[in-house]
A and B are shown apart, each in its own frame.
Chain A
Amino acid sequence: MSGTEHLLYYLSDYFPILVFIAVAFAFGAGTLILSHFVQPKLPDAEKLSVYECGSEPFSDARMPFPVRYYIIAMLFVIFDIEILFLYPWAVAFDKIGMIGMAEMVIFIALFVVGYIYAWKKGALEWD
């Protein structure tokens, strides 16, 4: 097989996924559009106002929110990338032997250092 054929053969596994994404989107959008045509539309100012337990809504909802959510998001990005590095290692586990094993123990040790640092800094606290 030539390079292009090989690539096409490889990508053919992913073709059903593309189709599935298209079908799922079509299902979502189609149902919403169909429903749009059969539903009543009787808007009034009270109905369209945002729900605040019956009282008059005050101020915009898009206000600043606690910085803890940002910290959690940043920790997630860092830790998630570190976990992603474990995946190829786990797949190749049988082939890389003692050296691969030792390298990953060092990597996880670095991971734990960062984790302990975040814990001691109070980034995992929520009060």
Chain B
Amino acid sequence: MELMIFAGAALVKIAMVMIVVLLTVAFLTLAERKVLSWMQDRMGPMEVGPYGILQPIADGLKLFFKEDIIPSGANWLLFSLAPILSVVPALIGFAVIPYGPNQEMEIFGVTIKPFVITDINIGILYILAFASIGAYGIILGGWASNNKYSLLGGLRAAAQVISYELNIGLAIIGVIILSGSLSMVKIAEGQAGGFWHWYLFGGLQIVGFVVYVISAVAETNRLPFDLAEAESELVAGWMTEYSGMRFAFFFMAEYANMILVSCIAAVLFLGGYQSPFPHYIIEYLGFPGMKWVEAVVWFTVKVYFFLFLFFWIRATLPRLRYDQLMRFGWKVLLPLALANVLITSIVVYFVRQP
């Protein structure tokens, strides 16, 4: 019986998270088009529903009913597997993200911890490990298509993703030294008590934060680092031969990855669900029991700040050249991140000395 409740609670939490993430992905495509349009003094999608708000649903339905073309020279199995291989790692990273305080609540007579699916003690390592698997989806898709543009796009994407993964791995070590734990829940809990306790400000992880954000943009293949699908040279990169629902999966993976890296940035550097003030505002107003509502709102605000940053960067910066991209990753960001690890460890060591 206890096992049934445990499994049932896990399933309900997973279903909730997947629904929220997929809905966010859908409406993020609309948000991106709207934000880009407003930045370029256009209206953006306006036809489907009021102010184009139903556009993602129309897009989704259209892609669902479109023909899945498998080109004649393609490897059928890998061609079909690649979109799933890229969307699954992007979704399951959300299993360890704390969306709110890690407290027990009683819902319908069952006591669960509603704001994190599972708190494993190697949370951030788990996310990094599965993020690497996402690169397989891209390179397999590129190779299986038997198209020259796809192959070049897949190779570029793989080299880019693994190069910037190093920088992400190094950039977050500073945070781990400060928190002493790899668990996302513990990292978020360690930043309570106002914005000057967040690791970005309190831990002086500014270099780590900047390296992380730049690498995260590159890792998700977003502009100005979207060399893998550079429209002007590679048609659509590794997605050239994909159509219908398989194409939609690559698209979903890209946006889900954006949300995931934004969540990680919010948890590691901006305190996750923690309020920027010493207490939650709702506590000052006299409703301490409703603290979790505000915590979830703070988390959402921080994640959307990063998502907006993604759009803003896309509207502002032109695309890099491939040699510039690789040189920047290996010769600028990597030494910076390494220096950040060394300096953080030495400073933390001497500050914590009694």
Binding site for B on A (CB under 8 A): 12-17, 19-21, 23-25, 27-29, 31-32, 34-36, 38-43, 45, 47-53, 60-62, 65, 68-69, 72-73, 75-76, 79-80, 83-84, 86-87, 90-91, 93-94, 98, 101, 104-105, 108, 111-112, 115, 119, 124-127
Q: In the complex the two chains form, is A41's CB within 8 Å of B67's CB?
A: yes
> Inside 8 A of A47's CB, which chain B residues have their CB?
69
Given the known A-B contacts A41-B67, A61-B146, A124-B326, are A24 and B92 also in contact in the complex, defined by CB atoms under 8 Å? yes
> Is A19 a contact of B342 with CB atoms below 8 Å?
no
Nearest-neighbour CB distance to chain A for B8, whole angstroms, equals 10
Stretch of B100-108, B240-248, B285-293, B296-304 on the interface side: B240-248
Q: Is B53 an interface residue (CB 8 A)?
A: no
B155 at the A interface (CB under 8 A): yes
Check B65–A39 contact: CB distance below 8 A.
yes
Report B236 CB to chain A, min CB distance, Å.
9
Query: B32 at interface (Cβ–Cβ under 8 A)?
Result: no
Q: Which residue of A lies closest to B246 (CB)?
A: A32
The 30 listed contacts between A and B (C-beta, < 8 Å) are: A16-B10, A19-B14, A21-B88, A23-B18, A31-B64, A31-B245, A32-B68, A32-B84, A35-B65, A35-B68, A45-B72, A48-B69, A50-B145, A51-B71, A52-B148, A61-B73, A61-B150, A65-B151, A72-B163, A73-B158, A79-B166, A80-B165, A87-B125, A90-B345, A93-B180, A94-B180, A94-B352, A105-B342, A124-B326, A124-B327
Interface pairs A-B: 5 shortest CB-CB: A28-B84, A90-B176, A16-B10, A126-B323, A35-B245
Interface size class of B (residues with CB under 8 A): 35 or more
For B91-133 the 0/1 string (1 means CB < 8 A from A) is 1100100000000000000000000011111000110000000
Residues of A within 8 A of B15 (CB): 23
Which residues of chain A have C-beta atoms less than 8 A from B71's C-beta? 48-51
Q: A38-B65, A41-B67 known; A28 and B145 CB under 8 Å?
A: no
Asked if B13 and A80 make an inter-chain contact with CB atoms under 8 angstroms apart, the answer reads no
In the assembled complex, the Cα of A68 lies from the Cα of B322 at a distance in Å of: 12
Closest B residue, CB atoms, query A29: B84
- Greatest chain A CB density within 10 A among B119, B148, B170, B181 is at B148
B7 within 8 A of A: yes
A86 to B342, CA, bound (A): 11
Shortest C-beta distance, B215 to chain A (Å), equals 13
Chain B proximity of A11: nearest CB distance (Å): 10
Not counting A23-B14, A72-B326, A83-B169, a sample of 4 additional A-B residue pairs whose C-beta atoms are within 8 angstroms of each other reads: A47-B69, A48-B71, A101-B349, A115-B335
Q: How far is the CA of A20 from the CA of B7 in the complex (A)?
A: 11
User: Is the Cβ of A61 less than 8 Å from the Cβ of B117?
Assistant: no
The answer to whether B84 touches A48, judged by C-beta atoms less than 8 angstroms apart, is: no
Q: Are A115 and B334 in contact (CB under 8 A)?
A: yes
**A25 and B88: CB pair below 8 A?**
yes
Give which listed residue, B83, B176, B334, B352, contacts A91 with CB less than 8 A: B176
Task: For B75, give the chain A residue with the smallest CB separation.
Answer: A62
Q: Is B148's CB under 8 angstroms from A40's CB?
A: no
Interface pair B177/A93, CB less than 8 Å apart: yes
- B255 contacts across to A, CB distance below 8 A: none
In Å, the complex CA distance between A68 and B323 comes to 11
Q: How far is the CA of A72 from the CA of B212 in the complex (A)?
A: 20
Closest residue to B74 on the A side, CB-wise? Answer: A50
Q: Which A residues lie within 8 Å of B147 (CB)?
A: 50-52, 61
- Residues of the B chain whose Cβ atoms lie less than 8 Å from the Cβ of A62: 143, 146, 151
Instruction: List B contacts of A83 (CB < 8 A).
Output: 166, 169-170, 173
- B149 interface hit (Cβ, 8 Å): yes
- B126: shortest Cβ distance to chain A, in Å? 8
